[in-house]
Chains A and B, each alone.
Chain A
Amino acid sequence: MSTMTPVRPQPQGAPQKPKGRVRSASASLWEASPLTYLALILTIVLSIFPIVWSFIVASRDNSAVTDIPPPLYPGPNFFDNAQRVLDNTDANFVYGLINSAIVSSAVTLSVVFFSTLAGFAFAKLRFRGKNALLLIIILTMMIPTQVNIIPLYLLMVKFDWTNTLQAVIVPFLVKGFGVFMIRQYAESAISDELIEAARVDGASTWRTYWSVVLPALRPAAAVLGLLTFMETWNDFLWPYVVLNGDTPTVQVSLNILATGYYKTDYVQVFTGTALAIVPLLLVFIVFGRQIIGGIMEGSVKA
């Protein structure tokens, strides 16, 4: 900074600020201008419009979809429409919601448990072959699900698991990304002294994990859990392949509504969409800050 001052001793900005530093110039660099706010508000309007619109249509009747210009406020029919969707025996929406809750919770618990376990081992324990194993985990993150779908499907047929919840739970109990993420967090969040102290106290490795490491990993575990829950809830391709309307997840129910016999009953389709979004919307409203923090931190560390 000091090398700049001789060149431009008096920046042309208003020099009212008594503190002699470049405070005024830098503040104007970092303060959001009205134009910035406007641009961001526009972005947000575009972001929430389709969601708000589907809720509005879901609360009206079938003419709302084709209304020009689109209706801008909700109507009175949301609960009637929801009742109609939930009563639809082909889409099986109630089951879809319950199944999705079961599947997402089971996968989340498992991914968080196994990821913290392995992530802790990779970050803080010493064992032979550690680096090679970690490299394998990173490589597993690059295998696209698409590639495995056919043999996975044949495997499910062999196990007689098609149209069962196991089929959408068991193959996803572990996630390379989770192990990697927890490992990165544990490296810096857990001091070696902490582990050492637990050992001196006579704690076994398992005990150390359970009562010392796991509590310390809670912030990262929470973020991993949230991301996993949302991803599982929203997963489409694999449930679409392996499940049908008898044992649907909510996305499968939604697909039946939107592509099958009912596809022209737009209000039902939109009400289903709204019902499928609501649980995640609640999660997002409560935990939004953590989710955002997790996405931003994860990207810096990766």
Chain B
Amino acid sequence: MTTNVGEVAGPRHGRAPQRPPKSRTVRIGRLDLKLSPYLFVAPFFLLFAVFGAYPLVYTAILSTRKNTLTGGDAGFVGFANYTKVLQDEHFWIVIGNTFGLFIVSTVPQLVLALLIASWLNKKMQARTLIRMGVLIPNITSVAAVGIVFGLIFADRYGLANWLIQSVGLHPVEWRNHRWSSWTAIAFMVDWRWTGYNALIYLAAMQAIPKELYESASLDGAGAARRFWRITVPLIQPTILFTVIISTIGGMQLFTEPLLFNYGRIQGGSLNEFQTVAMYIYETTFTNNFNVGRGAAISWLLFLIILIFALINFALVRRSVKGTSS
């Protein structure tokens, strides 16, 4: 219809009256309008139902059953798997490790990211190149990071120990202590994620009106004061956002500690750096292949993440309200 030149050029008079009534196309058109949206979103929900929702529910069911990969299903046991897990000292060790590693890695990571973002938030030459340089660790695979840093933190001939010895200190046995293994693993995590978070902070900082800084500087506020009094409060929602993302990631930490100790799932001879995720794997896919117990730990992990996320959401809500009003 619009291909008709005269009609396009001339003024439109509502509906074209000369159009013959095509009831069938109209009906198809209406059906199309009604059905298409559902057809468009259906693939997501169908696939999610099979590979997302069903496993989630099935994990819950499995966690109430005595079930091993080798012995098969041996019936309903209620919360026995959960009570066994909660009474197991091993579980509390890996919980402590996971939280400890999360804090040891996340706090310096986010502080450093804030700092780098404030450096990036200036007029400069080769802007894209510099940003790419900051982000590049994030595109390398976790496995590669684990392997390369595993050797950087090797006890003998490792680069880290070489640096330590060159300033006159004793070399560290990285895998034999809690503090040293946590430091090394936090290093890997932070190396990979600091630049990514810096870019997210940069995006938030760019949204702050420049006049705020200018008037503050005219009032005599120095760089540090401007940073803590203007930048940090105004990007607080973004900071909380990165905390949520880091929490979800940190609670699932797996590959770095695994490859740090050359693939050993126990993470250190006394489980010094075994995380919950590694413990799930160890319980389910090694030793007794205890699927039921593994499922129970999985659900506990999910609950922990959920609680964390909800707390964070509440904080975000409050802070957003606080800054926008």
- State which of B75-83, B99-107, B177-185, B191-199 sits at the interface with chain A: B191-199
Q: Does residue A16 face the partner (Cβ distance < 8 Å to B)? A: no
Residue numbers in B under 8 Å from A7 (CB-CB): 219
Q: Mark B278-308, 1 if CB is under 8 A from A, else 0.
A: 0011001100000100110011011001100
- Interface residues, chain B, with chain A CB atoms under 8 Å away: 1-2, 29, 32-34, 36-38, 40-41, 43-45, 47-48, 51-52, 54-56, 58-59, 62, 116, 119-120, 122-124, 128, 130-137, 139-152, 156-157, 159, 162, 191, 195-196, 199-200, 202-204, 207, 210-211, 213-215, 217-219, 238, 241, 248, 251-252, 254-255, 259, 262-263, 277, 280-281, 284-285, 291, 294-295, 298-299, 301-302, 305-306, 309
Least CB distance, A135 to chain B, in whole angstroms: 13
Residue numbers in B under 8 Å from A277 (CB-CB): 140-141, 144
Residue numbers in A under 8 Å from B43 (CB-CB): 114, 117-118, 173-174
Residue numbers in B under 8 Å from A263 (CB-CB): 262-263
- State which of A22-30, A74-82, A86-94, A214-222 sits at the interface with chain B: A22-30
Q: A65-B157, A127-B38 are in contact. List 5 more A-B contacts (CB 8 A).
A: A32-B122, A54-B148, A143-B302, A280-B140, A295-B199
Contact (Cβ within 8 A) B203 A170: no
Residue numbers in A under 8 Å from B149 (CB-CB): 50
Residue numbers in A under 8 Å from B284 (CB-CB): 149-150
Q: Does residue A185 face the partner (Cβ distance < 8 Å to B)? A: no
Contact (Cβ within 8 A) B48 A30: no
Residue numbers in B under 8 Å from A291 (CB-CB): 135, 139
Contact (Cβ within 8 A) A173 B259: no
Contact (Cβ within 8 A) B202 A296: yes
Q: Mark A196-230, 1 if CB is under 8 A from B, else 0.
A: 00001110111001000000000000000000001
Name the one of B119, B128, B139, B259 contacting A255, with C-beta atoms under 8 angstroms: B259
Name the one of B37, B55, B302 contacting A127, with C-beta atoms under 8 angstroms: B37
Contact (Cβ within 8 A) A288 B132: yes
Can you report 19 residue pairs joining A to B where beta carbons are below 8 Å apart? A4-B215, A32-B123, A44-B130, A44-B134, A46-B191, A50-B149, A54-B148, A118-B44, A127-B34, A130-B37, A144-B305, A146-B301, A151-B56, A151-B295, A152-B51, A173-B43, A254-B143, A269-B147, A269-B151
Interface residues of A in 240-293 (CB under 8 A from B): 241, 251, 254-255, 258-260, 263, 266, 269-270, 273, 276-277, 280-281, 283-284, 288-289, 291-292
- Assuming the contacts A66-B157, A151-B54, asked whether A125 and B37 have C-beta atoms less than 8 A apart, the reply is yes
Interface residues of A in 27-57 (CB under 8 A from B): 29-32, 36-37, 39-40, 43-44, 46-48, 50-51, 53-54
Residue numbers in A under 8 Å from B255 (CB-CB): 236-237
Residue numbers in A under 8 Å from B145 (CB-CB): 50
Contact (Cβ within 8 A) B291 A1: no
Q: Does residue A101 face the partner (Cβ distance < 8 Å to B)? A: no
Contact (Cβ within 8 A) B238 A29: no
Name the one of B48, B199, B211 contacting A296, with C-beta atoms under 8 angstroms: B199
Alpha-carbon gap, A130 to B41, bound state (A): 10
Alpha-carbon gap, A118 to B41, bound state (A): 5
Contact (Cβ within 8 A) A147 B299: yes
Name the one of B132, B195, B214, B241 contacting A26, with C-beta atoms under 8 angstroms: B214
- Assuming the contacts A44-B130, A117-B40, A142-B248, asked whether A230 and B139 have C-beta atoms less than 8 A apart, the reply is yes
Contact (Cβ within 8 A) A65 B143: no
Contact (Cβ within 8 A) B142 A236: yes
Name the one of A26, A31, A51, A149 contacting B136, with C-beta atoms under 8 angstroms: A51
Least CB distance, A96 to chain B, in whole angstroms: 11
Residue numbers in B under 8 Å from A65 (CB-CB): 151, 157
Contact (Cβ within 8 A) B41 A48: no
Classify the interface of chain B: helix, strand, loop or mixed: helix
Residue numbers in B under 8 Å from A39 (CB-CB): 116, 119
Residue numbers in B under 8 Å from A114 (CB-CB): 43-44, 47
Contact (Cβ within 8 A) A147 B59: yes
Classify the interface of chain A: helix, strand, loop or mixed: helix
Alpha-carbon gap, A283 to B138, bound state (A): 13
Q: Which residue of chain B is the closest to A266 with respect to CB atoms?
A: B151
Contact (Cβ within 8 A) A40 B301: no
- Assuming the contacts A36-B122, A241-B285, asked whether A299 and B203 have C-beta atoms less than 8 A apart, the reply is yes
Contact (Cβ within 8 A) B147 A273: yes
Which among A36, A39, A54, A236 has the highest number of chain B CB atoms within 10 Å?
Answer: A236
- Assuming the contacts A22-B218, A292-B128, asked whether A258 and B259 have C-beta atoms less than 8 A apart, the reply is yes
Contact (Cβ within 8 A) A40 B203: no
Contact (Cβ within 8 A) A273 B56: no
- Assuming the contacts A117-B40, A133-B45, A206-B36, asked whether A284 and B123 have C-beta atoms less than 8 A apart, the reply is no
Alpha-carbon gap, A20 to B298, bound state (A): 65
- Assuming the contacts A50-B191, A150-B291, A204-B32, asked whether A22 and B214 have C-beta atoms less than 8 A apart, the reply is yes
Residue numbers in A under 8 Å from B254 (CB-CB): 146, 236-237
Contact (Cβ within 8 A) A137 B62: no
Q: Which residue of chain B is the closest to A48 with respect to CB atoms?
A: B136
Residue numbers in A under 8 Å from B143 (CB-CB): 234, 236, 251, 254-255, 258, 276
Q: Which residue of chain B is the closest to A133 with respect to CB atoms?
A: B41
Residue numbers in A under 8 Å from B159 (CB-CB): 53, 70
Contact (Cβ within 8 A) A150 B133: no
